[in-house]
Structures are given as C-alpha cells and as structure tokens.
Amino acid sequence: MDTNNEFLIYGLADPVSNEIRYIGKSTSGSKRPKEHLHKCKSKREFHTYKARWIKKLIRNGLSYKIVILEILCDNDHDLLLRREQDWIKLGREAGWPLTNLSDGGTGMYGLKHSQKTKRKMSLAHKGKPSKLKGRKMPESTKKKLSKANKGKKPSDKCIAASIEWHTGRKLSKDHKQKLHEGMKNYKHSYNVKIQIAKSKGMRQFVDHDGETHDILATAAYKYGISRGYVRNILAGIRKSKEVNFCYVEK
C-alpha cells in the first residue's frame, strides 16, 4: 500500500525481538519513519535514547522494522497528536521497551530529567557563557514574535501553576537588591499608568480649564505641582485659589 501522503501513527520495531521500541507520527506516510535511519547514518540525529538504539543496530548490520499502527481517515493535525499520545500511553502500560522520552504530541511534553541527568547538565554548563549571550534578535523576528503572541492569554491551568510556583517563595537579599537597582530608572508608559490608576480605584477628573485627566501626574505636570497636592485638592483636604479639580460624575 502506498502510504506516502497519509497521516499515520507508526512504530519502529527491533528486527530480532520484534518489540516496538519507538512510536511516532507522520504527515508524509511511510516517508517519515525512514528518515530516522538516514539521520543516524549521516550523524544528524541527536544523542537520544532512540538514536543510540538505531546506531547500535547499524553497527551490527541491522535495521529497524516499520510497523504501521494506525492510519487516520482525515488529515487532522490535532487528532494525529492525540492519537500519538494515546499509542505511547498504551505501549507504556503494556510494558513495551519504548525509547520515547516524552508523552508525544508537540515538543517534549512529559519529559522529566532524572536528578543524575540534571547534575550532569549543570556541571557541563558551569563556567561557560550562554550561546545566546551578545546575540541580538533581528527586528523582523521581533515583529513576527509580537504578531504571533498578540491576543494570546495563558490558560487557567498555566495561571494556577504559576501561582503555585510563586506562592511561599522568598527572594534573597541579593535578588531584591538587583530588582531594586533595575527598577530605579524604570518608567511606566502612559497607558500602563492609567491601568494602574484604575486598578487602585482612580477616577477621571477635570481641572478648572475643563481638561479631563486619567492620572494625577498629567495634572501635576500641567500646573507644576506635586501629585500629592492634586490628590489633596480632589479629596477636599486642601483648597487653592489658582487651581481646582473635581471628579467626573459617573
């Protein structure tokens, strides 16, 4: 059967034991399963568990078997991701010696490094500068990232995980000092100032010239007075013959 244009779930099986060692997805039929072998032969495959297994087969003059586990009727990407995850879960529950590091789907979801691996990674990177240090992102890339992320909101699960992570955490004195130094010359944009003012219950107000203000700073700048002076006039604590402010009626 020609499966070069079909969405499918495949398995890579050991040629001796016939055990399935890897489960993957393909949007190009049987073409994708064959790529693993070509990448390992050309040394383009990373040193993953799967790659080491395939390279061992190559050294012994063997090659894996391709097993088509499921062919999807519709070319549905989301369904393909879910079915890959289902098959990997099924294989693990059945005791298959899979080389998959993640739970399937997109990226490395479900991958958890052992403490031993974490220590090795830490030691390997200690004292070495980041590869990204000094690199500047092109403006075209920045615009693409901005456009791709506009309007996106984190899921409830993501927000809950973030809250759980930060709850109870205490910053060190050095960390606090660095944050303090970093915020010294930081200035909020006008729109951010309005959002902060509204979150604190700040209402719009007008001056005696009829100009409407969203924040205290604009009125203070206009008349050369402090924000506290403007606030006190609005609260009725102080009175001035030169300037006057009153809240806009809702």
- DSSP bridge partners of 166: none
Strand order, beta sheet including 65-71:
20-26, 8-13, 65-71
pLDDT at 70: 94
What does DSSP assign to residue 3? -
| Those residues with Cβ within 8 angstroms of residue 231's Cβ, 6 or more apart along the chain or in another chain | 216
Residue 121: count other Cβ atoms within 10 Å of its Cβ: 11
| Greatest distance between any 2 Cα atoms in the chain | 96
What does DSSP assign to residue 214? S
Does position 149 have pLDDT exceeding 90, yes or no? no
pLDDT at 61: 93
φ, ψ of residue 2 in degrees (nearest 5)? -85, 110
Q: What's the pLDDT tens digit per position in 238-247?
A: 888 889 999 9
| Those residues with Cβ within 8 angstroms of residue 126's Cβ, 6 or more apart along the chain or in another chain | none
pLDDT at 111: 63
Rounded distance, CA 216 to CA 243, Å? 14
Which option is the CATH number for 190-247: 1.10.8.100, 3.30.200.20, 3.40.50.620, 1.10.10.10?
1.10.10.10
Structure tokens at 122: 């830490």
Q: What's the pLDDT tens digit per position in 6-58?
A: 899 999 999 999 999 999 999 888 899 999 988 888 766 667 889 999 999 99
Q: What's the pLDDT tens digit per position in 168-223?
A: 888 888 998 888 888 888 787 878 877 877 777 788 899 988 999 988 888 888 89
pTM of the model: 0.46
Average pLDDT over residues 57-63: 93
Look over the chain and give the mean of its residue pLDDT values, rounded to a whole number.
Answer: 86
Q: Which residue's structure tokens are 């073409």?
A: 31
Same fold, 8-94 and 190-247: no
CA nearest 194: which of 214, 221, 213, 216? 214
The residue extents of the domains of the chain are 8-94, 190-247
Rounded distance, CA 211 to CA 206, Å? 5
- Domain 8-94: assigned CATH number: 3.40.1440.10
pLDDT confidence of 1, banded at 50, 70, 90?
A: very low
Q: What's the pLDDT tens digit per position in 78-103?
A: 889 899 999 999 999 999 999 998 88
Report yes or no: 84 and 104 within 8 Å, Cβ to Cβ. yes
pLDDT at 84: 93
Structure tokens at 232: 């006190």
Does position 107 have pLDDT exceeding 70, yes or no? no
Does position 63 have pLDDT exceeding 90, yes or no? yes
User: Per-residue b/e over 131-156, b at no fewer than 16 CB within 10 Å?
Assistant: eeeeeeeeeeeeeeeeeeeeeeeeee
Does position 108 have pLDDT exceeding 70, yes or no? no
Report yes or no: 54 and 36 within 8 Å, Cβ to Cβ. yes
